[in-house]
A and B are shown apart, each in its own frame.
Chain A
Amino acid sequence: MRKYIVKRLLWSILILFFVSFLIYLLMRSLPSSYVETVARERAASNPQVSYKQWLERLNELYGLNVNPLQGFFIWLSQAIRGHFGDSWYYGVPVTQKFGSVIWYSFALGAAALIFQVALAIPLGIQSARKQYSALDYATTVFALIGISLPGFFFITILKMVFAVNLGWFDLNGIVGRMHDSYSPFRQFLDICQHMVLPTLNLVIIGTGSLLRYTRTNMLEVLNSDYIRTARAEGLSERRVINHHAFRNTLIPLVTIIGGTLPGLFSGALITETLFKIPGIGYTSYEAMLAGDIPFTMFYLTFMAILTLLGTLISDVLYAVVDPRVRVS
């Protein structure tokens, strides 16, 4: 097992190298760069130095006067040592900016995941047990709405109902107007309150697919021969469902949920942007718009690592929960 994981990790590094190279190439070939924007601004405000001169000077300053291949290896040699440089757009070290925003995203993602799992699994199992019942139809409709309608649509509705009409929450932002005057505990509650609508939105769009997945798996398991055997042994229906069927339903679920765990750090771009939550999704979105190469490189490489980690975790978990795929 350990050999397998080590092998997978080595493969991951190779993949990561090519992924980051591709990202760097893409970033460099974007039609409008951060440097061009800044040069244009400077040239407009300071007519003595022409746009061309500004561009040259800035290119040198930001290390863009080399070709993309060289640029990539310079970036790589720094990145390996943990130096991701300063963000052009935010003007602070990339890691510092990242550290200051990531926890908002993590809190949002974690809260959403917990609620998603807590809702989807029991509902999925119940609707599988009572296939074609009223509960089954209700959850199916709920799930399909969540899957098929886009997130920004719900955000608008949620804002409309809870922020505008009822006035229970602020329209956007992570803190209220009076935040600084509160005691630390009130400040925490304030942030929590601002997290409610984004979390609700993520739960609505995320629960559906997990619920349907649970239901399909449970149905398959309930129709299998070993469930009939378990019943024939005289086990009570509760034990059949909670012990025999659930363990088998869990196999695909655990791998899926395990695979999404690293995703908690990746942020929710649309939700964060629309609610103006300063999470990693929103921050990287702004950085990308500005053509901030160091920050974007860091973020996208980080995402690639998370994805690779996710597949590794789900494969390892598969072997843990299913004895049939255990690597000898």
Chain B
Amino acid sequence: MARKSKKSANYLSARTIRRTAKENRRITRQFEQKLNRKHVAPSEYATVMKDPANVLEVEDLKTYFFTDAGTVKAVDGVSFEVPRGKTIGLVGESGCGKSVTSLSIMQLLQRPQGQIVSGAIRLTQDHGQAVDITKMPIHAMEKIRGKDVSMIFQEPMTSLNPVFKIGSQLDEVIGLHNPDMDKDAVKKRTIEMLELVSIANSGAVYDMYPHQLSGGMRQRVMIAIALACSPKVIIADEPTTALDVTIQAQILDILRRLKDQINSSIVLITHDLGVIAEMADEVVVMYAGRIVEKGTVEEIFKHPSHPYTLGLMASKPVVSRHVERLYSIPGNVPNPIEMPDYCYFRDRCDRAFEPCYGEYPPMISLSPTHKVACYCYQQPADKKE
């Protein structure tokens, strides 16, 4: 039986696909029209931060992909806050929605399939103002990308335009967000940025093309571009995954130093728990598009609570921690198109018990900062409520 139903999920008839595609076009057209509007009063997307100490607040974010095979709920109700000057680590395996969350914040989703369906992303502005990114049309979004919120990508080898010189690519960003700077001032600032990311011969690098630099150097240039306008939030999506460990150490060092220097916050996305432990102040663990656990870095690493977090930590070998056999989480991530209506981790969880067969567990507070979505930690008292 199980195999049969799996088969019907894998093999879709052409008719079903056509129907889904048509329905998707109808839905996405509405989103697209809203995003492509030209003249929108800023008051429409103005908002206030819930806590003025935060620079970024993501609340109940839902980002769906409307594919021909069905709707993929890549991010389904994610909430977290980024306080000023802190580093938030988003951890999870591939397909858990951590990258989609970051692309939603930048409004860089693969459109028209990928759309923010609901929720709020509040980004602080000057003078106590804030904007809700989910309500912003594209052309307003262009003004804050790179200036208030910027992003560092995973692949330094392909993330720089191969036909323009390093200098001109940096000049472009700086000139764009500082229209009152003249050409010489822009170039001076570019050289300064290159020096800031520890590129020794900045003058020569200014006139080089990306292919003349190594991966580590290119990632430094990417960091320089991202930090050129002193953004309030830097999103770093697996910034060191493609690099060797010794280069990774250099890059993380630069990132940490510059974050303090320009007083911004980092949203660090990675699957490497070691990098998280080293960099993050607070950690958000994601699984299948939802947050399963969040807390301060101490809480997550010393008292991991969600069975998934525990499994993740146990399955990664750690230097100088000897185990005879690695733990491996049984089973697979559920099909993203047909998510179950109970806890997504239940079928792989060895602690599953009777309440897990009910609806998806709520976030349960273990401490003011430590929250976990697991029935194991529910007290009988609040079960009744």
Contacts and interface: CB of A to CB of B under 8 A. Distances in A.
Given A229-B222, A324-B209, A234 B173 contact: yes
Interface in A171-207: none
B153 A229 contact: yes
Residue of B146, B177, B222 ringed by the most chain A CB atoms within 10 A: B146
Contacts, number: 74
A260 B368 CA distance: 70
Given A226-B158, A233-B150, A324 B211 contact: yes
B145 A244 contact: no
Contact of A234 (B143, B153, B160, B211): B143
Contacts of B211: 323-324
Interface stretch (B82-90, B114-122, B161-169, B273-281): B161-169
Interface in A226-263: 226, 228-237, 244, 247-248, 251
A234 B177 contact: yes
B146 A323 contact: no
Nearest to A325: B211
Interface in A307-328: 321-324
Given A225-B158, A233-B173, A233-B176, A248 B163 contact: yes
Contact of B142 (A224, A237, A247, A321): A237
A303 to B, nearest CB: 34
B146 A322 contact: no
Contacts of B142: 234-237
Given A226-B160, A229-B161, A235 B153 contact: no
B155 A232 contact: no
Given A225-B153, A232-B106, A233-B173, A244 B161 contact: yes
A120 to B, nearest CB: 21
B108 A231 contact: yes
B159 A226 contact: yes
Contacts of A231: 108, 145
Given A229-B153, A229-B222, A235 B163 contact: no
Contacts of A237: 138-139, 142
B254 interface: no
B138 A248 contact: no
Residue of A224, A229, A244, A322 ringed by the most chain B CB atoms within 10 A: A229
A323 B163 CA distance: 6
Interface in B139-194: 139, 142-147, 150-151, 153, 155, 158-164, 172-173, 176-177
B159 A229 contact: yes
A233 B146 contact: yes
A216 B7 CA distance: 34
Interface residues of B, number: 30
B251 interface: no
B225 interface: yes
Contacts of A236: 139, 142
Contacts of B145: 231-234
B161 A234 contact: no
A229 B160 contact: yes
A233 B146 CA distance: 4
A255 B68 CA distance: 37
A248 B161 contact: yes
Contacts of A247: 161, 163-164
Given A233-B225, A234-B147, A226 B172 contact: no
Nearest to A226: B161
Contacts of B160: 226, 229
Contacts of A230: 161
Given A233-B146, A324-B211, A251 B106 contact: no
Interface in A22-72: none
Contacts of B225: 229, 233
B151 to A, nearest CB: 5
B163 A233 contact: no
Contacts of B163: 247-248, 251, 321-323
16 contacts: A224-B158, A225-B153, A225-B158, A226-B160, A226-B161, A226-B162, A229-B160, A230-B161, A232-B108, A233-B176, A234-B143, A234-B144, A234-B176, A234-B177, A323-B211, A324-B209
Interface of A: 224-226, 228-237, 244, 247-248, 251, 321-324
Interface of B: 106, 108, 138-139, 142-147, 150-151, 153, 155, 158-164, 172-173, 176-177, 209, 211, 222, 225-226
Given A225-B155, A226-B161, A244-B164, 13 more contacts: A225-B158, A226-B159, A232-B151, A232-B226, A233-B172, A233-B173, A233-B176, A234-B143, A234-B146, A234-B147, A235-B176, A244-B161, A247-B161
Closest 4 CB pairs of A and B: A234-B146, A234-B145, A225-B158, A233-B146
